[in-house]
Amino acid sequence: MPIRGLRTKTTASIPRPSSPGSGEFREIEWDEAVGIVAERLRRIRASDPKKLAFFTGRDQSQSLTGWWATQFGTPNFAAHGGFCSVNMAAGGLYSIGGSFWEFGEPDWDHAKYFMLFGVAEDHDSNPIKIGLGKLKARGAKVVSINPCRTGYSAIADDWIGIRPGTDGLFVLALIHELIKAGKVDLDYLARYTNAHVLVIREPGAADDGLFLRDGEGRALSWDQARKVPADSRDPAIEPALVGSFTVDGRTCVPVFQLIAERYLDPAYSPDAVAERCGVRAEKIRQVAAELAYVAFQQAIELPVAWTDWAGRRHETIKGRPVAMHAMRGISAHSNGFHTCRAIHLLQVLLGTVDVPGGWRYRPPYPKPVPPPNKPAGKDGGKPMTPLAGSPLGFVTDPADLLVEADGTPVRLDKAYSWEAPFAAHGLMHTVIRNAWAADPYPIDTLMMYMANMAWNSSMNTSETIKMLTDKDENGDYKIPYIIYSDAYHSETVAFADLVLPDTTYLERHDCISLLDRPISHADGPGDAIRHPVVAPDRDVRPFQSVLIELGARLALPAFVNDDGSARHADYADYIVNHERAPGIGPLAGWRGKNGGDIGRGEPNPRQLEHYIDHGGFWHHELAPDERYYKMANRAYLDFAVRMGFVAKAGPIVFQLYSEPLQRFRLAARGHGAIVPPESERTRIEIYFDPLPFWYVPLEETASDGDGFPLHALTQRPMHMYHSWGSQNAWLRQITNQNKLFVHRAMAARLGLADDDWVWIESANGQVKGQISLVDGVNPNTVWTWNAIGKRKGAWGLGDDAGESNRGFLLNHAIADLLPADARGRRYSNSDPITGQASWFDLRVRLRKCAAAEEGFTEPRFKPVASPPNFEPSPRKLSFGATLRNKERVG
Amino acid sequence: MTCLPETTERQLGLAIDLDTCVGCNACVTSCKEWNTGGHMAPLTDLVPYGGDVDGVWFNRVHTYEQDDAMGGLTVHFPRSCLHCTEPACVTVCPTGASYKRASDGIELVDEDKCIGCKLCSWACPYGAREFDVDVGVMKKCTLCVDRIYNENLPEEDRVPACVAACPTSARHFGDFADPNSAVSRLAAERGGVELMPELGYRPSNRYLRPRERAEHEITIAAPPLQAVQAEGGFLGWVDRVLSR
Amino acid sequence: MHPAVSVIFFTTATGAGYGLLALLGVGAALGLLPPHLALALTGLGLALTLISSGLLASTAHLGHPERAWRALSQWRSSWLSREGIAAIFTYVPTAAFAVGWIILGRVNGWVAAAGLLAALGAIVTVSMTGMIYASLKPVAQWHTPFTLPAYLIFAAMTGLTLFNAILQVFGLGPQWLIAVAALATLGGWGFKRAVWRHDSGMENRPTLNSATGLTGGRVRSVQWPHSERNYLLKEMGYRIARKHSARLRRIAQVLAFAVPLALFAVAVFATPWAAVTACVLTVPVQLAGMLIERWLFFAEATHTVTLYYGLP
Ligand SMILES: Nc1nc2c(c(=O)[nH]1)N[C@H]1C(S)=C(S)[C@@H](COP(=O)(O)OP(=O)(O)OC[C@H]3O[C@@H](n4cnc5c(=O)[nH]c(N)nc54)[C@H](O)[C@@H]3O)O[C@H]1N2
Ligand SMILES: Nc1nc2c(c(=O)[nH]1)N[C@H]1C(S)=C(S)[C@@H](COP(=O)(O)OP(=O)(O)OC[C@H]3O[C@@H](n4cnc5c(=O)[nH]c(N)nc54)[C@H](O)[C@@H]3O)O[C@H]1N2
Ligand code: SF4
Ligand code: SF4
Ligand code: SF4
Ligand code: SF4
Ligand code: SF4
Ligand SMILES: [Mo]
């Protein structure tokens, strides 16, 4: 396919087109463009580096971009994880030191029972499909919990059409059933989790709910053998899981006691949750029974001996063949962090994490729970000074927050503030609004990369568009300067002051690094590169290389040599020669002078050649005895230390009860040096529950449920990639109009028929689209394919294209802020713990539109004009015509 | 020759498992990709970035819902040429452009003979033939003849592009004339069906219907849970010696 | 099915042309036609114009008309091929017949034999056309015992209308010929109604269940494989609204049958001049009606592929 990239030199428009599409762009040469950016950034860095907000999207170079931001000295950096699935990442990393997303995988070869929560496609899409094929071929049972019966859910042996946002309840009801029936793997809990750690139960005390610790800070358990509190990590103890113990006059109970007490409560019984979840109690009991049956009566053993962290040899690897996977159906709700933790709790109670047949870590995971790095930039960044570390990390204590003394966020996106304390991935979805509102402070330049923030990756798109072009009373843009790198003519291009046209992934080097989002298998770590397979046919440059050049021009320490010259020629050079820690670089394969090392080793000048010779991939296969129980497997942990995945080979202990959460709760109760402002206390108190719990999604609580009775969701079409699937002429033939799928019975109740045009109205806004009736959806739910709707004029699509005329973008209806609370305060429409964007909390009602309104989507915006030299779209594609034998008979 | 061979040595075709097809369209796009450079090249696309985009494809995936006692099914349904044994698409062809090979039963179009009368597409009940307006000839699934016998490909890749691409392994390729071939056995085991048998085209492709989902063996075998009956209830049951 | 103008014109025109040709041939052989130059020129000229322009039109929808000759090769299996061959063969006796009648001015002996052969060719060709449609199992409205007779009957009917008009113009037409033409039109009408009745009551047609192999509960299409209409839908997914079709059926009946019948009645009872005018008028009116009938023949025909798209 010819590449439909931005066929233009760097385009700068001065001033920014006041109305996008005005075509005011002019072309400039790369040198000038990089010069403009360097000049601007130099000024910012010399005065107040946080005035540069640098946010990146769907790229795989966060380890470079994050490193660059660190060197620049701005805390205002994040990638797209905050609006994607940080709830999954954080929920997992704060619980089991690994997570769903693409950081773990079901044991497709051994699982007999597979539960899939809220997944339409996912990042790991081909492996999931291959895995499902394997499960089906072996006759394993596949259960999908999803309001929509499409794709994976369509082939599930059991489809549970749950009501959106209620999975937490459903899972806790399963836990209720399992605990009640004693179907819990107590040995597993005792060995690998903090179920036996003693929690101080002294209501009102400053350490109520914290772990009982000894003088050296070690958490203690009750050793039943010696009847004393003992180091919970001591392999020799016989820990109590239940009971109440008095130590030094203080009441303590093991974590598991708290778990049992909480979830045995009838409030979590199937009967109590059934209606809310839209799942019959009978069905919940059946699933619980099946889980117990497979985990405990169908247990498996691999005939492989292994040694645990404490040096004990096990003759076989025991497994409970229940595997689970979950993604955005869980995470994109404002209760997603707790729901995700609830799923991990279920997995752990059944003893199924990193065991044969269960869910498995992919190296470099597991990591300590949570990983030890804290977000840097507490001081907001100092002129001409790199941050002390990465701006992203894991908060475990209020002292780690990035807030001023009065609680004001340090970061533009308010990550690591009281509003989103565990915002491990930042909150990219708040950046445009906050920059526009100068809340908490105005910025100078917003630099974005590979995220279509003026369209499908923003909540409340219509208003976002306004904010991007809004001016203050002096006539200056409220967001003074926007630099954007895109490879295509996306909707966002039109809003930039300076566009840096990127190569596409076929035309540049990329690195899918273990330092970033790894592509490992559970059987061993792996990473990969992309390398140019076609030469660009237009004047574009890889953004990563431009960033490296900028780093050098700005003399950021890591990007220049001692003599001030550029340290790396380009990204390819960086991939090979950059070392994050001695011997550890972006790629783990073929390190060392001769390419003989893995993980750690000197940079190897021929490293990329090795990758190319191996199809772009490196993969290290773990020995059979290293592949399971990685959280406690000595051989694996030693390997992980050698590779630099973890600092020490100690066991990784699952935090079923999360002490960091409790620390915030205590702060909300006024304990400790750093406490939330009065106004934030209730919120922190409620949501920072150390054990998983369920609450009504925030939008639902705040808005009038009766007024907007339907849940509205999006799903990724398997054949399209967000907005730019439209650039592939084949894929857009499959889908260039998205419809809203409505349950047949619901439509009948609303007086709607197949193919009717309707207004989809939310408390935030409305959008118009066409409906299609189905039976396979939760009756209270409507849904559509994600990111099909386009703005007219963008992407080089014809003015009559389905995407911009009949397709629609649900995001116009999605609020980026919650309704005002009693104090008039409007929080971000996000998870209160992690800041994850709550896309799927959206509630709507449907209204049949007037006859004159039929046939076209709304809102409609002024068409954007194409940038200079944008190649017109072809009228015909005849790929392969030239490959045919020319001989033709007349 | 548009008369049909009396018998074919082999009858190659596909078995498509509707129990595992997730509707991902990988087979659709890889079919297009392979074939636009293959025997029937090109598979033209008209107005590719405009409103009435239209292209030639050999494989298309539909989505259906079916009522059943369990609350219904959603079924993804890939549709391509079924390589029929009695295909009228061949016999109606006035030019001999359409033919069925005696060696392996594959139906093909000789583009150089095709006058583009479209009659064969009328004669195909299954919509497996698509006319290339630009080139003026009829095109259809070739069962990837240019792959399955292609000596330049590694042995394991000598299967149709759609089969190679299917991530869930819902597509199986083989010889239906041989009752012991893997596809014949799979079709027999799973009760693979012919589409529209009443029309008498005797398709060789078989569709394997979704399995009876309520009858999964785990569902049948799993006993209902009982509350633990230990002394002291559940907590009493937990209160036992555990080693780390 | 997509009602392509070229095919509608082709089948209607060749039907009338072959009908007329057959009647001229048979008429000559039976001695009903005098060696009348103007009559011969008009009759054969009209027949050949209709046939040839129809055949030419039929190549208009080909992707490669320059290869049309190849269509003659597969007579052993293909009705389309046979039709082509029959059409071409029919030209041979027709040419002889024309030479005899027009140039030599005779209608007996070998000329009559040629006339009869031309008539036979015409009938065979029309039958082949009918069989093209009748043989298509995926189109239920065509794959019926009615299709072949319909083609023959309508060819005879329009041929007779033409034949009668020409003879009346030249003052050679007997009164009973008008009656015969009227009877043919009446018969055609009755037959068409019978066809429609049959079509509306068709049973045991393939369903989406059998098309997908998903036997059992009702199957509904919930998503197409593509957003826009593709070749299959453009060619075979043509749909006409019930109301629209009912109206067109009425118009077709009025034009093809009712008005011609009225005109025939006028012709029987009116003054000679009025009678000739009436008979001539039957031709354009009936052919217009038949074009609509033929349009409906395609537009109302449903192809099994549309089952896959969930179209009714
Ligand atoms: N309603 C709703 N909205 C959603 C979601 C949802 O489920 N529902 N999902 C959310 C999630 S999880 C995500 S991740 C976002 C994704 O949304 P975005 O982050 O906007 O992702 P894309 O649309 O894939 O692409 C972003 C931009 O990158 C450009 N691009 C593509 N390749 C390159 C390249 O090589 N270089 C450069 N510089 N640019 C390139 C594209 O042209 C596009 O403009 O959407 C979010 N928005
Ligand atoms: N083909 C393709 N693949 C992609 C992408 C793409 O655009 N196209 N995007 C990539 C990106 S950025 C991401 S983040 C991943 C995301 O991959 P997925 O996690 O699969 O994301 P979604 O498509 O948003 O699907 C969310 C699913 O959750 C369901 N759901 C919604 N609410 C609930 C709920 O409350 N409970 C339950 N149980 N289910 C619920 C929805 O019905 C839907 O099936 O996919 C990646 N892979
Ligand atoms: S787009 Fe790339 S990563 Fe995603 S499924 Fe396809 S090959 Fe895999
Ligand atoms: S499916 Fe259609 S094109 Fe293929 S052989 Fe059968 S009738 Fe012919
Ligand atoms: S379109 Fe081509 S292949 Fe089909 S019947 Fe006509 S000549 Fe034969
Ligand atoms: S066999 Fe080949 S041509 Fe036929 S559908 Fe599959 S990939 Fe396409
Ligand atoms: S590739 Fe396989 S799973 Fe995907 S649509 Fe085709 S048959 Fe179905
Ligand atoms: Mo995402």
pTM for the whole structure = 0.96
Q: Is ligand 3 within 6 A of the CB of residue A126?
A: yes
Strands A757-761 and A843-848, bridge-based pairing: antiparallel
Q: How far apart are CA C102 and CA B39, in angstroms?
A: 54
Question: How buried is A145 (Cβ within 10 angstroms: 0-12 exposed, 13-18 middle, 19+ buried)?
Answer: buried
Q: How far apart are CA C238 and CA B15, in angstroms?
A: 31
The answer to whether C264 touches C286, Cβ cutoff 8 Å, is no
Q: How far apart are CA C296 and CA C274, in angstroms?
A: 33
Chain A neighbors of C66, CB-CB under 8 A: 890
A556 CA distance to ligand 8 centroid (A)?
30
pLDDT at A15 over 70: no
| Per-residue 3-state assignment (H helix, E strand, C coil) for A451-483 | CCCCCCCCCCHHHHHHHHHCECCCCCECCCEEE
Contact residues, B window 157-186, toward C, CB-based 8 Å cutoff: none
A841 CA distance to ligand 4 centroid (A)?
48
Q: How far apart are CA A461 and CA A617, in angstroms?
A: 38
Q: How far apart are CA B2 and CA B7, in angstroms?
A: 14
pLDDT in tens, A600-635: 999 999 999 999 999 999 999 999 999 999 999 999
pLDDT in tens, B93-144: 999 999 999 999 999 999 999 999 999 999 999 999 999 999 999 999 999 9
The answer for residues whose C-beta is within 8 angstroms of residue C41's C-beta and 6 or more apart is: C102
Q: How far apart are CA C120 and CA C111, in angstroms?
A: 14
Q: Which two tokens stand for residue A841?
A: 């909390």
Taking an 8 Å cut-off on Cβ atoms, the answer to whether C70 and B77 are in contact is no
The answer to whether B230 touches B237, Cβ cutoff 8 Å, is yes
Taking an 8 Å cut-off on Cβ atoms, the answer to whether C304 and B114 are in contact is no
Q: Is residue C311 less than 8 Å (CB to CB) from chain B?
A: no
Q: Which two tokens stand for residue A396?
A: 């475990």
Taking an 8 Å cut-off on Cβ atoms, the answer to whether B48 and A874 are in contact is yes
Q: Is residue A340 less than 8 Å (CB to CB) from chain B?
A: no
* CA dist list (Å): B16 to B23, B182, C93: 12, 13, 55
pLDDT in tens, A145-183: 999 999 999 999 999 999 999 999 999 999 999 999 999
Question: Closest Cα partner for C217 from C204, C227, C208?
Answer: C208
The answer to whether A662 touches A675, Cβ cutoff 8 Å, is no
Q: Which pLDDT score, from 0 to 100, does residue A705 have? A: 66
Q: Which residue has the higher pLDDT, A5 or B87?
A: B87
Taking an 8 Å cut-off on Cβ atoms, the answer to whether A736 and C66 are in contact is no
Q: How far apart are CA A190 and CA C15, in angstroms?
A: 90
Q: Quickly count: other Cβ atoms within 10 Å of residue A614's Cβ.
A: 14
Taking an 8 Å cut-off on Cβ atoms, the answer to whether C63 and B209 are in contact is no
**Cα Rg of chain A, angstroms:** 27
* CA dist list (Å): C225 to A735, A788, B62, B77: 8, 15, 5, 9
Question: How buried is B223 (Cβ within 10 angstroms: 0-12 exposed, 13-18 middle, 19+ buried)?
Answer: exposed
pLDDT at B14 over 80: yes
Where residue A28 falls among pLDDT bands split at 50, 70, 90? confident
User: Hey, which residues does A528 pair with through a beta bridge?
Assistant: A512, A617
| Per-residue 3-state assignment (H helix, E strand, C coil) for chain B | CCCCCCCCCCCEEEEEECCCCCCCCHHHHHHHHHHCCCCCCCCCEECCCCCCCEECCCCEEEEEEECCCCCCEEEEEEECCCCCCCCHHHHCCCCCCEEECCCCCCEEECCCCCCCCCHHHHHCCCCCEEEECCCCEEEECCCCHHHHCCCCCCHHHCCCHHHHHCCCCCEEEEECCCCCCHHHHHHHHCCCECCCHHHCCCCCCEEECCCCHHHCHHHHHCCCCCCCCCCCHHHHHHCCCCCC
Three-state DSSP state, A830: strand
Q: Which pLDDT score, from 0 to 100, does residue A11 have? A: 53
Task: Calculate mean pLDDT across residues A256-269.
Answer: 97
Q: Identify which of B32, B76, B223 has the shortest CB distance to residue A293.
A: B223
For the sheet with A52-56, list strands across it. Answer: A26-27, A11-12, A498-501, A481-486, A445-449, A52-56, A77-78
Phi/psi at A373 (5° precision): -75, 135
The answer to whether B165 touches B27, Cβ cutoff 8 Å, is yes
Chain C neighbors of B117, CB-CB under 8 A: 61-63, 71, 80
Strands A113-117 and A141-145, bridge-based pairing: parallel
pLDDT at A330 over 50: yes
Where residue B149 falls among pLDDT bands split at 50, 70, 90? very high
pLDDT at A1 over 50: no
Question: Closest Cα partner for C123 from C17, C10, C44?
Answer: C17
What is the percent of chain A with per-residue pLDDT over 70, rounded to a whole number? Answer: 96
What ipTM was reported for this prediction? Answer: 0.96
Q: Which pLDDT score, from 0 to 100, does residue C8 have? A: 97
pLDDT at A18 over 70: no
Mutate which: C72, C78, C137, C233, vs B, most B CBs within 10 A: C78
Q: How far apart are CA A350 and CA A358, in angstroms?
A: 10
Three-state DSSP state, A787: coil
pLDDT at A769 over 70: yes
Q: Is ligand 4 within 6 A of the CB of residue B99?
A: no
Q: Is ligand 1 within 6 A of the CB of residue A95?
A: no
Closest residue by Cα to atom 3, ligand 6, is B141
Q: Which pLDDT score, from 0 to 100, does residue B235 have? A: 81
Annotate A304-369 with DSSP letters as a single string: --EEBTTS-EESSEEE--EEEEE-HHHHTSTTHHHHHHHHHHHHHHTT-BTSTTSEEE-TT---SS
B197 CA distance to ligand 4 centroid (A)?
13
pLDDT at A2 over 60: no
Minimum Cα–Cα distance from C226: chain B residue: B60
pLDDT at A886 over 60: no
Q: Which pLDDT score, from 0 to 100, does residue A23 have? A: 62
The answer for residues whose C-beta is within 8 angstroms of residue A657's C-beta and 6 or more apart is: A194, A197, A199, A255, A258, A259, A690, A691
A844-863 burial string, b = 16+ CB within 10 Å, else e? bbbebbeeeeeeebeeebee
Amino acid at A616: G
Angle between helices C5-29 and C37-60 (to 10 degrees): 150
Q: For residue C120, what is the enclosing H or E element?
A: helix C110-134
Cis peptide before A370 (omega within 30 of 0): yes
B201 CA distance to ligand 6 centroid (A)?
19
Q: Which pLDDT score, from 0 to 100, does residue A20 have? A: 61
Task: Calculate mean pLDDT across residues A561-578.
Answer: 97
Taking an 8 Å cut-off on Cβ atoms, the answer to whether A113 and B134 are in contact is no
Question: Closest Cα partner for B139 from B80, B199, B64, B211?
Answer: B80
**Residue segments in chain C with a per-residue pLDDT below the cut of 50:** none
Mutate which of B83, B98, B120 to test ligand 4's pocket (most atoms within 8 Å of Cβ)?
B83
Q: Which pLDDT score, from 0 to 100, does residue A867 have? A: 78
Q: Which two tokens stand for residue A259?
A: 């778990």
The answer to whether C5 touches C53, Cβ cutoff 8 Å, is no
Chain C neighbors of A741, CB-CB under 8 A: 222
Q: How far apart are CA A201 and CA A254, in angstroms?
A: 10
Q: Which pLDDT score, from 0 to 100, does residue A36 have? A: 93
pLDDT in tens, A640-658: 999 999 999 999 999 999 9
Q: Identify which of C65, C70, C77 has the shortest CB distance to residue B113.
A: C70
Distance from CA of C216 to the nearest CA of B (A): 8
Closest residue by Cα to atom 44, ligand 2, is A120
pLDDT in tens, A48-105: 999 999 999 988 899 999 999 999 999 999 999 999 999 999 999 999 999 999 899 9
What is the percent of chain A with per-residue pLDDT over 90, rounded to a whole number? Answer: 91
Helices (runs of H) and strands (runs of E) counted in chain A: 25, 32
Question: How buried is B87 (Cβ within 10 angstroms: 0-12 exposed, 13-18 middle, 19+ buried)?
Answer: buried
Where residue A872 falls among pLDDT bands split at 50, 70, 90? confident
The DSSP code for C48 is H
Task: Calculate mean pLDDT across residues A401-412.
Answer: 97
Three-state DSSP state, A143: strand
pLDDT at A887 over 90: no
Taking an 8 Å cut-off on Cβ atoms, the answer to whether A183 and B37 are in contact is no
Mean pLDDT of chain A: 94
Q: Look at A5-19, A433-447, A631-645, B13-27 and tell me which has the smallest mean pLDDT.
A: A5-19
Q: What distance, in Å, lies between the first and last C-alpha atoms of chain A?
A: 30
Task: Calculate mean pLDDT across residues A470-476.
Answer: 93
Q: Which two tokens stand for residue C239?
A: 């749909």
pLDDT at A725 over 80: yes
Q: How far apart are CA B15 and CA B184, in angstroms?
A: 8
Atom of ligand 4 nearest to the CA of B90: 8
The answer to whether A33 touches A500, Cβ cutoff 8 Å, is yes
Minimum Cα–Cα distance from A174: chain B residue: B225
Q: Quickly count: other Cβ atoms within 10 Å of residue A14's Cβ.
A: 11
